[in-house]
Every structure is written in structure tokens, then in C-alpha cells.
Amino acid sequence: MKRLISTLCAALAVTCGPDVLAASKTVPKAEAPAAVTPAAGKRPRVGLVLGGGGARGLAHVGVLEALERLHVPIDCIAGTSAGALIGGIYASGMPLPEVRRRLEDADWDKLIAGSPDRRNLPYLRKKDDYQNLAAMTFGVDDSGLKVPRSVVGSQLIDRFLREMTRDIYRESFNDLPIPFEAVATDLEKGDMRVFKGGDLAIALRASMAVPGVFDVVNDNGRLLVDGMFVRNLPIENLKDKAPGSCAADVVIVVDVGTPMLKPDEIRTFVDVAAQAMNIATGRNVLEQRKLLAPGDVLIEPDLTGYTPASFTSVKEIIERGRAAAQPLEAQLSALAVDDSDYRAWLAGIASRATASQQPYDRLEVTQTRFVPPDRVEGVISGKVPPATQEQLLERFDALYDTGDFDSINYRLHNAGGQQVATVTPLERSVGPNYLRMGIDFKFDTYRTATIGFLGNYQMTWLNRWGAQWRNDIRLGAESSLKSEIYQPLGHSPTFLVGSVSFGSSSLPLFDSEGNKLLEIGVNRRGAEVGGGYGLGRYGELRLTAFTEHVEGEVLTGGLGITSNATTRLYGGRAQLVIDQLDNPKWPRHGYFLRTDYAAGRIKDEDDLAQLVEVDGDAASTFGTFTVRSTVRVRGSLDQKLSSVPIPYQLGGFLQVSGMQTNELTGARTALGRVMAYKQISSLLPQLGSGLYVGGSIEAGKVWNQIFTASNTKVIPAGSAYLGVDTLLGPLYMGVGWADYNGGKWAGYLYLGYTN
């Protein structure tokens, strides 16, 4: 499992360039170019080459700290991928302690996952999270099915780079405090694109764009991806003697690439793919290392145990970089200057860095494909245009949270003496019509097995006011179809809604000993119309009128019952939802509340049916331990079965664990539950949040049971489980016990959201 994750990391991280083979680490003197000797009394021109390596590239910071401690001035820098990130920020003049602090403080899991804080998303974007739909979203249009161009959203990385580069634009990167070059790959032609000027954030982003993981960068019509494919260790860039090039006399080279896999480590197709990429990248590294001269310095940090995705080990990797420079201090000291000269060099960088930070003078917004331009400009420009980078990025966040965009970035350029920021809202490549699919299943030691296949199809922006057509389908032991039209009223949070639904399910009925007496097939169809008010990121309020038609027939057992039953209910419903959970399937922080009150008449019945559903959830995390509390009440307010179209049920995993699924049936049910779980290992954000171990303490009660008309006692129960947050949803393997009829035990295998 560790090898699988490691090799996946190599494919999904910021870069994954390898170390070269052992034979390439010592370049034969006969093949090495002669060292360049500077003129007498003149300090040699020192270039710094920083290679790609994903999280392993954080070691570059440690090397830079060692160089500063030894007073080695750097005259120019060239970097690829992670090397471009560290090198470009340092070349821009940001003090090294500040660089380190920002890298250590960054939430790398969040940046690499590319997912915004769910609690800040509009509720309309969150409401489908309570179905067990897979993470990947497809698009559907006249050309057929559309697949996303990347696994990870780049918005958070783009934002991070903007903050780190501080909106620096230079016609030539030679005008930075330290001259700089970044290497990227032209995805169409396969050749090298060297950034020697322009928008620094765009240059770094292009050099880091791992294809298929992060989206490509469109640079004036050229599609650019990670530079590792053409030159993962850009030594030649700094040795070039052409006018405007660095023409370094000596280069310090830091190689942080991933080692080649050994034969016994290549076990799966993933390993084969990773090794193929290592070979392709390793060849260009080998060719570049042949350019090293006797006076050059090669630093190879020992990064054993760290993969290109080890971003949670920032401090440790940086220290590996510092340690790697120690054995080479004598060679590096030969390039050092005295204290006064080094202080003067640092002061020069600081003075040029201060001059580098200039705000933009004008905003321009490019055209969008399906989101109305006035909506986009209304968020970005607003009544008062943003005056600072921070204000502009906050507006980008608000626009990105709508779910309509893959990224929102801007490109700086000079026009008529002004610095112009051209904003490019890149709408989702699979939009505006989206398809998601999923699966859930339940198995237990009572020999109960159910499986369901889910589909969700949405058409958005049906008109300029943002109308949506939302469709959900489920096939399996319980089948259903719901179709809803959602129409906002202008630009206000008020909306109109109308829906129709169909469903078929089974209603198992058990005696007091847990023996199944019969199973009733239930068919439902209904319609609902009304309106509501959106509460932004918090939730929504709905008021609707509804009608529902229910038919029941005995499928098995029956105790001699053969007739069918038909019920029709019509009335009104009020529903309030507040959703501030960070992850509804494995929450670590936040809260959730849903209240649903329906009042209506059952055909041919005199009593008013009053049905209520209340779901409350709260989660808090202390270190690696999470405590989640749940309260749920569902059923008739007056506890009368005659006012319930379909009785309510309780029992099963995490719903009085130890009992059979839906073993208890009555007019009203209640459940209280406290879950505690600990994350014991993490996965790549693209695969899930991690592996958990936990347990629950539960209590349930049912009123007016269907056969006895009696209320149960409060039934204590509990469970212990191992869980994994996967791309397909939360997977549990557990055991439960309930204090009912002398005690009941059960084992469970469960994939899906636990309500």
C-alpha cells in the first residue's frame, strides 16, 4: 500500500523528476567542460540551478539558508517546477526567513487538493453532498461526454503564487533583484519554453503544471505544462553565453529528483507508469549534468523516505537541504565574500525588491462562455473596484466558490505606461451541464445485502438569472427519480422551485424477536411547488405546497394479507437547512441543522397529519481526534400511525448498531449518537482524506410500534469500526451491539453517507 501511494504521489504531485542513475552522479573529467576562470581579482559569477522534485524541492530553501550562512552571493537563478517556485520567490527579493515561514504555514493538503473550504460555498453547491456521489464530475453537451482536463483545481495554487510573487511584472526577469529564468514545456510542440520576463506568477505556475493533475497554462495561445519533461535541471540556461543570458562562471546545482525504482519495486501498472516518467525525465537530467565543470558544485540532499507529495514534512525536508550543503562547505566557501561585501549584496537585493512591488493601475475582465458577463464583473469589479491584491483575491474566492469556474486568475502587462491586470475567469471545462455518478451498499451478518447506483445530472445557467434543472436517480433495492426546476428571481436570494418525484422501495416488518413477518412494496409519486430564500453559504429556507400518492402491496409473508393499500396526502411544507460542516461524510469541524415540518390531509381521513423531521450534527476536532454528535427525530407529532402515509423505521449500522436494518417500525423514531474517531493515516487529497478508527455510543426509541402499538424503551447501543474516506464515499467495516432482547451483535460492511 505504501508503494502504491508513493508511486501515485509521483504522478500527482507538483513534479516528479528523478535522480539520475548512480553512474551519472560522477561525471568523468574527460567529458566535463573546462572550468571558466574569471579575470584576476574579479569575483566569479555564480549561478544557482534548482531542479524539480515536488515537495522534495522544499530542500532548496535549506540549501539557500546554508549559502546565506556561508556568505555566498548568487548572481542568477534558473529553476524548473518546484525549483522555479523557490528560485523565483527568492529572486524576487523576499527575505529567506519570510519564504520559509510562508511555506511552513501553508495548508499544503488544501492547496494540492484544490478544494475550497466547503463551509464558504453557497448552499446550492453543497446540497448534493448528502448523496454518495463520486468525486469526479463529467460534462455533457452536443458532442457527448466531457472529461475534466485536470484532477486538481488550480485556483488555490494560483492564489498562493499571487500572494508569494506580490504582483511582480518585469519585461525582463534580469531586472529582478536576482536575474531569473523558469522552464516550462510546450504541450503542443513538446519543446522548451523559457520564461525570461513577464508576469512572475504565470511563469512559476506554468513551470509547475503537471499535465493531467493541474490544468495547463495558456500563455498567449501556447499551452504550457511542467518543465520537467524538457529540462528538469536547467544547467545550460545559466552557462549560456548569449547576450542577455547569465553566463555564469560557476554553477551551484541542487538536484532533488525522485530516485529510479528498483526492479523489485515495480509491481503494478502504476509503478510501470511512474518508472516510464522517471526514465523520460531522467534522460534530460543526465544530459544537463554532463555540462558540469570541475569548479561547479553539485548538491544532492538525502531525501530518502520523502516523496514528491510529502508536503506535510516541510520543516524536515528543508533541514535535509541544509544538511546536504555541510559536506561541501569547503567548496562553497571558495565562492563566498567577506561580511561587508555580503551585507552590501543583501542591501542591494532589498532595495530592488522594494521597488518591485507596484499595484496595478487598471482591471480588465475577459469574456465568459456561459456565465453572464455582468454577473462576473459585478463580483470582481463591483460598485467599488478592488484597490489591493488582497481585495481582488477575495473577490476571486467569492466567484470561484459558485462552482462555475475552474480558475480565476489575471495576467499583468504594461499598456501606455500603466500596469494592467487582465482577469481571465476560466469556466469549468465540463460545464455548464454536469453529470455525477455513485454507488452505495450495505452488508451485514443478518444476511442483508443492498446496493444502489446513483446518478445526478444538472443543467445550469438555463437563463441569465441562473435557472437550473436538477435531476437525481437511484437504481437498486430502493429506486427513485426526482426532477427539480430552480429559478432565482433576478439577482436576489429569493427563488421559485418546482419538482416531481417517483420512487419504489420495500418496507420490512419484524416481530418483537426480530423475525421478519412480511415485506411491503411501496410506490410513491409526488409533486411540489413553492419558493424560498437563500441564506448564502449557510443554507436556505423553503415554503412549498405538495401532494403525494402512496401505494403499498405485500411482497413476501403477509400473514394472509393480500389487499393493496392506497394513500394520498396533500398540504404544505416548511423546511430550513443550515449547513456548515467542512465534510459531511467525515466531518472534522462545523455543524448542520435540517428541520422539515409538513402539515396536510390524508384522503378520507379527518385528522390533520403533522409530520416533522429534525436532523442535527456538530463536529469538533482536537488534534487528530474528532467528536461528532448527532440528534435525529422523525415522524408524526401526535404519534398516530393513521396520520403517517409510511411508518418510520430505525435500526442498523450507526442507527442503533447491532440491530437489523430498519428492524423497528412505528409512528415516530428518535436517535442520539456520539461518534469519536481518529485519523491514523492520510491519503493523497485526490484519493480521500485518510484512514480512520473510531466508535460510537447510541440511543434510540420508537413510538407506537406498528404491531403492538407500544413504545420501546430507550435502547442503548454502540459500535467500533475502521473507516476510509475514498473517492467513492466513506467506507466502514465495523461491529455493533444493542441492548435489546437480551443483547444483539452484528457485523457491517457499509459504503455510503451515514444519516
Residue 591, pLDDT score: 97
At position 85, the amino acid (one-letter code) is L
- The mean pLDDT value of the chain amounts to 88
At position 754, the amino acid (one-letter code) is T
For residue 368, give the DSSP letter: -
Query: Is 399 or 5 the better-scoring residue by pLDDT?
Result: 399
Residue 12, pLDDT score: 34
Cα R_g (the chain), whole angstroms = 31
Residue 443 has pLDDT above 80, yes or no: yes
| DSSP labels, 632-656 | EEEEETT--GGG-SS-EEE-STTSS
Pairing type for strands 418-427 and 362-365 reads parallel
Length in residues, the chain: 755
Q: Which of 6, 75, 81, 407 is catalytic?
A: 81
Long-range Cβ contact pairs of 287-290 (< 8 A, separation 24 or more): 288/231, 288/232, 288/233, 288/234, 288/235, 288/236, 289/20, 289/24, 289/25, 289/27, 289/233, 289/235, 289/253, 289/255, 290/27, 290/31, 290/32
Are 287 and 20 in contact by the 8 Å Cβ rule? The answer is no
Cell of 358: 507596484
CA 336 – CA 527 distance, rounded (Å): 79
Are 8 and 687 in contact by the 8 Å Cβ rule? The answer is yes
Residue 474, pLDDT score: 96
Q: How many other C-beta atoms are found inside a 10 Å radius of the C-beta of residue 396?
A: 24
Q: How confident is the model at residue 148 (pLDDT cuts 50, 70, 90)?
A: confident
Residue 387, pLDDT score: 83
The crossing angle, in degrees rounded to 10, of helices 59-70 and 314-325 is 40
Residue 31 has pLDDT above 70, yes or no: no
Query: Is 715 or 555 the better-scoring residue by pLDDT?
Result: 715
Residue 244, pLDDT score: 84
Instruction: Say whether 333 is catalytic.
Output: no
Instruction: Say whether 444 is catalytic.
Output: no
What stretches of 38-154 show up as alpha helix (H) in DSSP? Answer: 59-70, 82-91, 96-105, 108-113, 123-126
Q: pLDDT above 70 covers what percent of the chain?
A: 91
Residue 381, pLDDT score: 86
Provide the 3-class DSSP secondary structure of residue 130.
helix
Query: 387: Cβ–Cβ under 8 A, 6 or more apart, which residues?
Result: 359
Q: How confident is the model at residue 214 (pLDDT cuts 50, 70, 90)?
A: confident
Q: Does the N-terminal peptide bond of residue 432 adopt cis geometry, omega within 30 degrees of 0?
A: yes
Residue 657 has pLDDT above 60, yes or no: yes
Q: How confident is the model at residue 113 (pLDDT cuts 50, 70, 90)?
A: confident
For residue 502, give the DSSP letter: E
Residue 481 has pLDDT above 50, yes or no: yes
Residue 41, pLDDT score: 58
Residue 639 has pLDDT above 50, yes or no: yes
pLDDT tens-digit readout, 164-207: 998 888 999 999 999 999 999 999 888 999 999 999 999 999 99
Q: Which of 158, 167, 215, 226 is catalytic?
A: 226
What is the end-to-end Cα distance of the chain in Å, rounded? 30
Residue 15, pLDDT score: 35
